[in-house]
Chain A
Amino acid sequence: MSFAKINDDILRTLHPPGFVYYVAVLLALSALSLGIWAFLHQAQTGLGVAGYEHPILWGVYITDFVFWVGIAHSGTLISAVLFLFRAKWRTAVARASEAMTVFAVATAGLFPIIHIGRPWFFYWLIPYPNTRDLWVNFRSPLIWDVFAISTYLTVSAMFLYLGLMPDIAAARDSVKDWRRPIYRVLSLGWLGTSRQWRHYTALYGFFAALATPLVISVHSVVSWDFAMSILPGWHSTIFAPYFVAGAIFSGLAMVITLLVPMRRIFKLESYITVHHFENLAKLMLTTSLIVGYAYLTEFFIAWYSGSSFERGTFFDRMFGQYWAYSWTMFSCNVILPLILFWKTVRTNLKALFIISLFVNVGMWLERYVIIVTSLSHDFDPANWAQVYQPTWVEGAITLGSFGLFFTLFLLFVKNFPAVSITEMKETMDRSAEADPASAWPKPV
């Protein structure tokens, strides 16, 4: 095993793709096109084409928003938090997770815009001097969201780019095709001098230290969109940690969903090993247990509060008109992941991939259940009969968001090193023999 082999193996992913890749890109682009078309229809016709009806005025779009913000979180967990803990196994999966973070936040950021009635005025959310002499309301959690999400997107994009810089330079010096001048510009003329590495390593550490509290704050702020209201089922102090744990849980599932096919398509089996997946599965199991504990605590608080409205909302959540969503959510997020206690499941990639798909579905349903059941079962019994039915427009836009996310991710992994070359070389034991898997530190 040598530095040159790592370079060649990882840069091989930039070679012209095969049939499967093109099919995947075509599917993603088709979904994206459908989403754009549905959004244009909504913009032209009005928000009435969504299934909103009083009192359920938040629905699929806010569900999508929370879902995509959540997906972003595990990327930062892997790239920043595990970096601070010196968990070296993160190296193989950090780049894909970081990229996933950036694309997921970018996708999430579109949904508040899609959700508002006049999306062309979205910039009114940003505080800027204007002729109306008005400022935004900084006491509103929605404005906290603007600051939290834009900060998260900016910081995670810079973090990703910083890590990429030496790798783009390696691509610049190896790739011979039309992309070479692009890599030259994007590498910013990186030389790899000791002086540059000194500043690079210092900043990388600081980014990790800044991103760690940031990731906790972002989903806490998102949870306060709900918790700051007085609605039964939302007004709870448990929301911030509950949302952060759920976000990391869903993000880890998405990492597994993306990495299993990526590893196979790009033949990265020597770098992304079963040990890495097993560690991801352990993290997923841990966060699943936290999420399960939070679900049960919510019910306990509802009962212990003595509030009939709080109790009514939670009873309705499990046994009311949305019972099927709630039970599916509970099964996917709490019961199914329990099989990860078995090592044979954790080390079986097919099983992990299937579980991760169920968890993705379960976590999307979690946000849907929280939003819709609470809104449909508020303080006014006259509203309780209302059933929210998402329309095809909401479905198409949701599908389009998956299309956007996968398009960005697929383009990224084909044009930039999908595994960090620098960190792989750093963690490699240069004395290791031909078996690359034996060169990496064994996961704890």
Chain B
Amino acid sequence: MAKRIEILGLFDQGKTAAASAREILESELGTVVAYSPVPDHALDQALHVTVSPVRLFVLIGGLVGCITGFAFPIYTVLDWPMITGGKPLISIPPFVVIAFELTILFGAIGGMLSFLVLSGLPRLIGKRAPDPRLTNDLTGISVTCKQDHVLEVRRCLEHHGACEIRG
């Protein structure tokens, strides 16, 4: 198997970084990972980023919370039947409050957990950001390519105005 090389191009504009990423992907020179200090729609388009599945987990969390919010109070009043205030044991209106709160809580927790898993976080050991300026003011295009494509990749990054190229 041919050795794969990682090349990092640093750009001071997201737009030019996106253009270089698009060209590298279209020319099938290698795989691209983009780093940026802010969300960048131009980069998303260049990398064909799809809609995040986080929404699905928020929905699942919310539904589980809603069901729990009704099922748990109903279980407890049946487990120890005690009438208070002359109201029916299974009083739906007050349980709506519990169900509503748990819908929000579980939806948020589901979203947070899915975000962490899908984003590969926490990542306390192992790979670190290739350059500290990527959380500051630079956009990075990291290309993993075959040895044969190194020159072409470097030329492409340079052509699109990379202020620094490493690797």
User: Which residues from chain A sit less than 8 Å from chain B, CB to CB?
Assistant: 2-4, 7, 127, 133-140, 143-144, 147-148, 150-151, 154-155, 158-159, 162, 166, 169-170, 172-174, 184-185, 188-203, 206-207, 210, 213-214, 217, 221, 422, 425-426
Contact = CB atoms under 8 A, between A and B. Distances in A.
Contact of B37 (A135, A189, A206, A422): A422
A269 to B, nearest CB: 22
B136 A4 contact: yes
Contacts of A174: 132, 135-136
Contact of B108 (A4, A155, A202): A155
**Mostly helix, strand, loop or mixed at chain A's interface?**
helix
A154 B124 contact: no
B102 A4 contact: no
B97 A144 contact: yes
Interface stretch (B2-10, B115-123, B153-161): B115-123
Nearest to A217: B100
Interface of B: 33-40, 43-44, 47, 49, 51-52, 54-55, 58, 72-73, 76-77, 79-80, 84-85, 87, 91, 94-95, 97-98, 100-102, 104-105, 107-109, 111-112, 114-116, 118-124, 126-129, 132-137
B10 to A, nearest CB: 13
Contact of A194 (B47, B55, B104, B132): B47
A93 B164 CA distance: 35
Most buried by B among A4, A138, A213: A138
A200 B37 contact: no
Contacts of B40: 194, 197
A202 B37 contact: no
A202 B44 CA distance: 13
B54 A144 contact: no
Nearest to B83: A139
Contacts of B119: 195-196, 199-200
B143 to A, nearest CB: 14
B67 to A, nearest CB: 15
B102 A3 contact: no
Given A148-B101, A213-B104, A191 B137 contact: no
Contacts, number: 184
Given A173-B132, A192-B135, A144 B98 contact: yes
Given A170-B37, A188-B116, A188-B123, A202 B136 contact: no
A333 B163 CA distance: 56
9 contacts: A143-B98, A189-B128, A191-B128, A193-B35, A195-B120, A201-B39, A201-B52, A217-B100, A217-B104
B55 A202 contact: yes
A193 B34 contact: yes
Contact of B36 (A185, A188, A192): A192
B123 A191 contact: yes
A173 B84 contact: no
Contacts of B129: 169, 173, 191-192
B84 A193 contact: no
Contacts of A188: 116, 121-124
B122 A135 contact: no
A155 B80 contact: no
Contacts of A143: 98
B54 A7 contact: no
Nearest to A4: B137
Nearest to B32: A194
A199 B105 CA distance: 19
Contacts of B33: 193-195
A189 B121 contact: yes
Contact of B118 (A155, A158, A170, A199): A199
Most buried by B among A148, A185, A210: A210
B84 A422 contact: no
B45 to A, nearest CB: 10
Given A4-B136, A173-B129, A190-B121, A199 B115 contact: yes
A172 B119 CA distance: 19
A221 B91 CA distance: 17
A162 B112 contact: yes
Contacts of A206: 54-55, 58, 107-108, 111
Contacts of A422: 37-38
Contact of A198 (B52, B76, B87, B134): B52
